[in-house]
Amino acid sequence: MTDINRAEYEQKGYLTGIALVSPQEATHIRDQFDALEASVGRETARIGLVDYHCKYEFLWNLVNHPKVIDTVQTLLGEDVLLLATHFFCKYGQEERFVAWHQDVTYWGLEPPKALTIWYAIDASDVENGCMRVIPGTHSRGIREHGKSDQAGNLLSINQEVPTTAEENASAVNLVLKAGEFSIHDGALIHGSLPNRSNRRRCGLTMRFVATSVGQTDATRQSDRWHPVLFSGEDREHHFDLQPKPCF
């Protein structure tokens, strides 16, 4: 039985502080990520690790954790695609940040509906630049994004959405222990500040859509997504699905 509060998620656009694995398991997962990071180097690990759930069994198992399945099905229904996974690592004392943005503005989805589970590989707090969200902004429409005028934005095309002073004042820090996760709606305004600590802050994002969500023509042509059927059945066939990895 799920303990995910769908009504609260729909009202605020996010949920946070949800325990996924025990502290011992979280350490084991972090150790395996450390080995992956060591093999690719920090430059790649920062934002270059996309869809590694297809290559590493520990990531595939994490994405398919029963609680992740339960959470996603509670919020999106039975028929769901795993659109992508993506690590966001900010290393200590770097001016790297993530500007305020709404994910679905540049994902090319029709309708633009998605959710992200953000799993804390490392403890994530105010000092090391945890995720921040502006509650309720997912129901205020999709806004036109501009470019950030600050150097160090980790977003691919330096996008940034304008926010009001009142919205900025209402921002919430999503402080997580390693092994916990938050969830955010693809239209929720979110971002993160630079890591001012000497600790790494690494999160694994898992992006999900219902199978009823399709692609805009531009995304179809760019072959940008390589989704896997996550649960249920794909009756709509909007994407060319990847086979599930076998380990």
Ligand X SMILES: O=C(O)CCC(=O)C(=O)O
Smaller CB separation from ligand X, 79 or 103: 103
- Pairwise CA distance, residues 80 & 165, whole Å: 36
> Which SS3 state, helix, strand or coil, does residue 65 take?
coil
Smaller CB separation from ligand X, 158 or 232: 158
CB of 51 to ligand X, least distance (A): 15
> Which SS3 state, helix, strand or coil, does residue 181 take?
strand
For CA atoms 57, 60, 64, 65, the dihedral sign is positive
CB of 41 to ligand X, least distance (A): 19
Helices (H) and strands (E) counted in the chain, each on its own, are 7, 14
CB of 77 to ligand X, least distance (A): 21
CB of 71 to ligand X, least distance (A): 15
Smaller CB separation from ligand X, 101 or 238: 101
Which residue ranges make up the site for ligand X (CB under 6 A)?
Answer: 88, 98, 103, 116, 118, 131, 190, 192, 203, 205
Smaller CB separation from ligand X, 62 or 131: 131
- Give the Å distances, CA to CA, from 178 to 29, 58, 155, 226: 9, 15, 23, 28
Q: Whole-angstrom distance between the N-terminal and C-terminal Cα of the chain?
A: 29
DSSP string, 44-55: HHHH--BSGGGT
CB of 116 to ligand X, least distance (A): 5
Smaller CB separation from ligand X, 175 or 232: 175
- Pairwise CA distance, residues 241 & 102, whole Å: 25
Task: Name the strand (E) or helix (H) holding 71.
Answer: helix 66-76
CB of 99 to ligand X, least distance (A): 9
For CA atoms 224, 226, 232, 238, the dihedral sign is positive
Smaller CB separation from ligand X, 16 or 192: 192
